[in-house]
Structure 1
Amino acid sequence: MAGKRIDTLSFDATLDELEGIVQQMEQGELPLEDALKQFERGIQLVRAGQLKLTQAEQKVQILLSEQDHSELVPFEPQQGE
Structure 2
Amino acid sequence: MTERAVTEMSFEEAMAELEGVVSQLERGDVALEKSIELYERGAALKKHCEARLRAAEEKVKAIQLAEGAPVGTTPVEGL
TM range (shorter): 0.7 to 0.9
The percent identity for this pair of structures is: 31
Note the residue ranges of structure 1 that are not aligned, 5 or more in a row: 74-81
Give the drift of 1:26: 1.2
Deviations 1:13-70 (A, max 9, x none): 1110000001111111111000000000000000000000000011111122xx4xx5
1:44 counterpart letter in structure 2 = A
Give the root-mean-square deviation of aligned CA atoms: 1.6
Note the residue ranges of structure 2 that are not aligned, 5 or more in a row: 69-79
Q: Which of the two has higher C-alpha Rg?
A: 1
Q: Whose helix fraction is larger, Structure 1's or Structure 2's? A: 1
Alignment-derived partner of residue 76 in structure 1? none
Q: Comparing both chains, which one has the higher relative contact order based on Cα–Cα distances under 8 Å and sequence gaps of 6 or more? A: 1
Partner Cα separation in structure 1 for residue 25 and residue 50 of structure 2: 21
Alignment-derived partner of residue 31 in structure 1? 31
Number of residue pairs matched by the alignment = 67
Alignment-derived partner of residue 77 in structure 1? none
Alignment-derived partner of residue 15 in structure 2? 15
Partner Cα separation in structure 2 for residue 24 and residue 59 of structure 1: 34
Alignment-derived partner of residue 57 in structure 2? 57
Alignment-derived partner of residue 48 in structure 1? 48
1:11 counterpart letter in structure 2 = F
In the superposition, the TM-score normalised over structure 1's length comes to: 0.75
